[in-house]
Amino acid sequence: MLRIALQSKGRLNEKSLSLLRDAGIAVEESDRRLLSRSSNFPVEILYLRDDDIPQTVSCGIADVGIVGLNEVRERGFEVEVMQHLGFGKCRLSLAIPKDIPYDGPEYFNGKRIATSYPGILGAYFKEKNVQCDIREIAGSVEISPSIGLADGIFDIVSSGGTLIQNGLAEVEKVMDSDAVLIGTPGLPEDKLSVVRILQSRFTSVLRSKGKKYMLVNVPNEKIDEALAIIPSMKSPTLLPLADKGWSAIHAVVDESEIWDKADRLKKIGAEDILILSMEKLII
């Protein structure tokens, strides 16, 4: 039985559960006790605050966990980062009041910076050889400059809206973060084999995101041109139609490119372009 730690509530909770469900692992919504077992896969889920996940995984109380890379780096516990999961994307940045001129990290020498991430910030300033007064605070970091508690902040930024609302400008990005799958270093082989299945299912789920299945009928003499427009993951499927002289191409394409490809295919004489949702892409 593999034990996986997830955030109990908060920004990563719902997406972590969705990822497990999309990977075919039954997790009961109503069953949000501290520890619950999947009915169809050998995992049990331990629900924790995200702050506690790196340590719990590092010492082996949970075998794996899903948490923001920022928390992993801040806590500094020894864990293996096994897979980037692509959700919970954000960055950790330094920001100062927007009207103050900024000329590089040396600006922060002698300044007071409020943050909930003193570990990451301390390491960054050490590398830049900047001496700064780091003030650790637990929440509402973004209001610290306006109430005179700090000269700047170091915090999570996603859209940037919170900084703008508080009259701050982002001046240095220190790290990018997303949700990651972490594991206890040196997991035994029986657990690793379950982790590998989990990772391969996650990869399939992540690969199918933003993809569509395209079917298009083309005159045979235009097949080469059509194939150049729809490069596929592997070679696209080509099937003859009952109507001689025509073939159907089936291919997986990025959703963002659908309209552009459809317009170009129509221009070369393609017809009946059908776009279907793709639920899974198992490789």
Nearer to ligand PRT, 183 or 236 (CB): 183
Contact of residue 245 among ligand PRT, Zn ion, none (CB under 5-8 Å per partner type): none
163-189 burial: b if 16+ Cβ within 10 Å, else e: beebebbbbbebeebbbbbbbbeebee
Q: Between the CA of residue 35 and those of 6, 42, 155, 180, what are the distances in Å?
A: 10, 14, 31, 21
CA 54/CA 109 separation, integer angstroms = 31
Binding-site size, ligand PRT (CB under 6 A): 21
DSSP string, 79-113: -EEEEE-S-S-EEEEEEEETTS---SGGGGTT-EE
Q: Which of residues 157-186 bind ligand PRT (CB under 6 A)?
A: 157-162, 177
Question: Alpha-carbon distance 248 to 220, whole Å?
Answer: 9
Q: Scanning residues 42 to 101, which ones bind ligand PRT (CB under 6 A)?
A: 49-51, 68, 70-71, 88, 90
Among 38, 50, 69, 181, binds Zn ion (CB under 5 A): 50
Task: With contacts defined by CB under 5 A, name the span among 35-43, 47-55, 112-120, 224-232 that binds Zn ion.
Answer: 47-55
Least distance from C-beta 157 to ligand PRT, angstroms? 4
By beta-carbon proximity to ligand PRT, the closer residue of 177 and 184 is 177
162 binds, among Zn ion, ligand PRT, none (CB under 5 to 8 A by kind): ligand PRT
The contact set with Zn ion (CB under 5 A) reads 50-51
